[in-house]
Every structure is written in C-alpha cells, then in structure tokens.
Amino acid sequence: MNILMLTPYLPYPLLSGGQIRTYNLLKKLSKKHKITLFALIKDHQEKEHIPELAKYCSEIQVFKRSSTPFTLKNILQTGLSSYPFLVIRNHVPEVTTAVKKALATNTYDLIHAETFYMMPHLPKTTIPTLLVEQTIEYVGYESYAKKAPLFLKPFLAIDIAKIKHWEMYYWNTADSLIVMSDEDKSYIQQYVKNPEKVEVVANGVDTKWFNEKSEKKVKKPTVLFVGTFKWLPNVEAVTFLAEKVWPAIRAAIPDALLWIVGNAPTEKILSYQNTPGIKVTGTIPDIRDAFAGSDLLIAPVLSGKGTRYKVLEAMASGTPIVATHTAVEGLDVTNTVHAMIADEPEQLAEQVVTLLQNKDLRKSLADKGRAFVKKRYDWSLIADELDSIYKKFGTTSRD
C-alpha cells in the first residue's frame, strides 16, 4: 500500500514515547508498504536525522514549527481562534499545501495521522484517514488544570474545552481510530458515532534489543525513574516521588540512590540533585545503560492516558518494577507477578524497600516481566496488528 503519514515530531532520535512508537513501526511496516512521511521539526538541526528515517520511508518532508511553544504569535492566535493552543502550536500552513500537492500527484491508499492535532492539516479528501491517539489529550490537561495556580484556571478551562471539542470532532471524522489500550477504547467509544471503528494497537518494545545488555553490579541500592519531561504527567510523577515517596525509602535504606533519567528535565527537577541520594542525569545515549545500572524502576504516574514505554522497556530489560495503577493501565500486568503495584506514597515506598532487600523477589519479577512483554508487546506483533487495520481501511474510500 502507498501511505501518507503525518507526525508532530521527527521520529528520530528516540527521545519521546511518540518517537519510539513511530520509528519502530516504520521499521516493521516499511517491509510491506511504501510510506511517505511529513513531520514537524522545531530546529533545522533535526534534519541531520533524516538519513536514518530514509531507510524506511520512500519520501520525507519536514516542516518547521516554532522552537518554543509559548511565543507571542501562538498565544495571540489561540485567543482569536476556535482551535486550542495545542493545535495552534503544531499548525504549519505549509503542511496543508504539501499534502494537497502530494494528493494531487500521487495515489495514496491511506492517510495515517499521529495525534488529533495533525488532522487540521488535511484537506477534504476521499482517501481513508486513520487517526492514532497515543493519549487522550484533554483528560491529561484536565488533571494538570486541577493543580494549576488559581489565576490560570479560567484560561486553562477555556483551552481544555477547545481541546475536548476538536479531539472528539476528529475522533468522529477519522475513518479508523487507533488507541493504546482497552481502557482508552472503552472511554472513546462513548463519544463516537461508530464505536466499531475504534481499535487497540498498543505500544510495544524491541525485546531483543533491550535484552542485549546484561545487568551491571550496582554499588548502592539504585532506584530508577525514566521519562521525558516535556510530558506533564512525568513532571508530576517525579515531584510526587521526590517529595512524598523518596524520604521514606531513604529513611529505611540510608545509602539508597534515586536516579532520574529523561529528556528535558525542568529547573525544579534539576534542583532535586540537592536532595541527599538523588541524581538527575537527563538524556543518556543508551537508555539500556540506565536499566542495567539500576536495581528497579519506579513509575509513580498519577495522571494521563496511554501506555508507558518505561514500563515495557524495564520489563524487556529484566528490571523489576514498582508502579501505580495508572502507570500500568491497559497492560494487563498482574500485581506481585509482573510488577508491584500501589498508589499511596507509603505503600510505594514500602514496596521499593521490600524489593531492594529481596534479591529473589527482584529476579522473579524480572524473569516473568521479560517473558510477558516478549509474548504480548514485541514490536513485530504490534506492527502486524496495525498492518491488518491498514489493509482493512485502506482498501475502500469514503462514500
């Protein structure tokens, strides 16, 4: 099939969950389909990564959006538009022009859009459109707004209402809607006219690649947190971890180390380095080194939808996990078998301490977690599921 794919990021390097997903699916799907990629970039230096993606795409075009989100232009346009800030900051008129030209000069079987906020770039067309919702955006922003400063709440309420309106609008206009979990599917099916078009294609993991590095001997009991900090739920999770959970762990195991790894740490997150027993590294060249150099992963995620790559990657690496229910939502993991699950800070701290002091339990969780992801979440399996949907929706045009 000939597919036109639109993404709000260049799918390489692998700094975010979206990039990880798109890159791995491109690698697998390119063996069966001819894919044209239109991607947004924030910096012209990102173009240096195009050759890596050219291995899997027949054509790549990139379009520059603003380097930082909160520009005066974006803020003013949001105030004057029915679109929310999320759409405005990711809207590049040149994309629509390029899409029109591509549709006029090529025969595409399917248009694949990652995230609802890429959908406004599409002109009216009879070509089937597949929308992938990696998370339910307005739900995540609602969680953030509840904890925002009082003076921001009215502005956030207006913008979130816009996000909700347009997100649901594109849920209904897309011919096929892909979500990450059964929970997301059930939630969205309440708001679409055709519930049957909503299907689950979960996130995955390259189990072979993550299994290549062996565990290193750790000098201190080391607890790992992984996540890009451009995603608000990760900032919230680290704050909760450092301020509510870590003190109890440190009190029980005085030499324990919390290692925070992730792209674009905020100033507040960097400041946690001043707390005894906390190290903030930011991005590292090979994320496998973080898993190999830790005793366990903690994922105290409190809000947001979508599958957490950190959980799948930890399992594939043989790293035992302590997580909240939100962090493992939709993965079908079993508490005490594949991970230790709790939501209250005291319980999370207690489980971390128990794991750090029990090597046999860590090994049991690691072995069962690795087997679980290999059977359920390897990218080859995930790509086959998406391929079957491509074939179903790409063979017929809209009426």
Q: What is the pLDDT of residues 282-314, one digit of tens each?
A: 888 899 999 999 999 999 999 876 557 899 999
Q: How confident is the model at residue 213 (pLDDT cuts 50, 70, 90)?
A: confident
Would you tell me how many other CB atoms lie within 10 Å of the CB of residue 43? 9
Q: What is the pLDDT at residue 303?
A: 83
Q: Stretch 77-103: mean pLDDT, rounded?
A: 97
pLDDT beyond 70 at 269:
yes
67-71, 90-94, 255-259, 347-351: which has the minimum mean pLDDT? 67-71
Residues contacting residue 71 through CB under 8 Å, at least 6 positions apart? none
- Distance, in Å, from the CA atom of 332 to the CA atom of 338, rounded to the nearest integer, reads 9
pTM of the model: 0.83
pLDDT beyond 60 at 117:
yes
**In the structure encoding, which two tokens stand for residue 58, read together?**
């027949």
pLDDT beyond 50 at 399:
no
Q: What is the pLDDT of residues 180-189, one digit of tens each?
A: 988 899 999 9
Q: Stretch 246-273: mean pLDDT, rounded?
A: 95
User: How high is the mean pLDDT of the chain?
Assistant: 93
Q: Stretch 384-394: mean pLDDT, rounded?
A: 90
pLDDT beyond 50 at 13:
yes
Q: What is the pLDDT at residue 211?
A: 86
Residues contacting residue 2 through CB under 8 Å, at least 6 positions apart? 33, 34, 36, 106, 107, 108, 109, 110
**Can you give the chain as a three-state secondary structure string?**
CEEEEEECCCCCCCCCHHHHHHHHHHHHHCCCCEEEEEEEECCHHHHHHHHHHHCCCCEEEEEECCCCCCCHHHHHHHHHCCCCHHHHHCCCHHHHHHHHHHHHHCCCCEEEEECHHHHHHCCCCCCCEEEECCCCHHHHHHHHHHCCCHHHHHHHHHHHHHHHHHHHHHHHHCCEEEECCHHHHHHHHCCCCCHHHEEECCCCECHHHHCCCCCCCCCCCEEEEECCCCCHHHHHHHHHHHHHHHHHHHHHCCCCEEEEECCCCCHHHHHHHHCCCEEEEECCCCHHHHHHCCCEEEECCCCCCCCCHHHHHHHHHCCCEEECCCCCCCCCCCECCCEEECCCHHHHHHHHHHHHCCHHHHHHHHHHHHHHHHHHCEHHHHHHHHHHHHHHHCCCCCC
- Distance, in Å, from the CA atom of 147 to the CA atom of 160, rounded to the nearest integer, reads 14
Q: Stretch 331-341: mean pLDDT, rounded?
A: 95
Percent of the chain with pLDDT over 70: 97
pLDDT beyond 70 at 395:
no
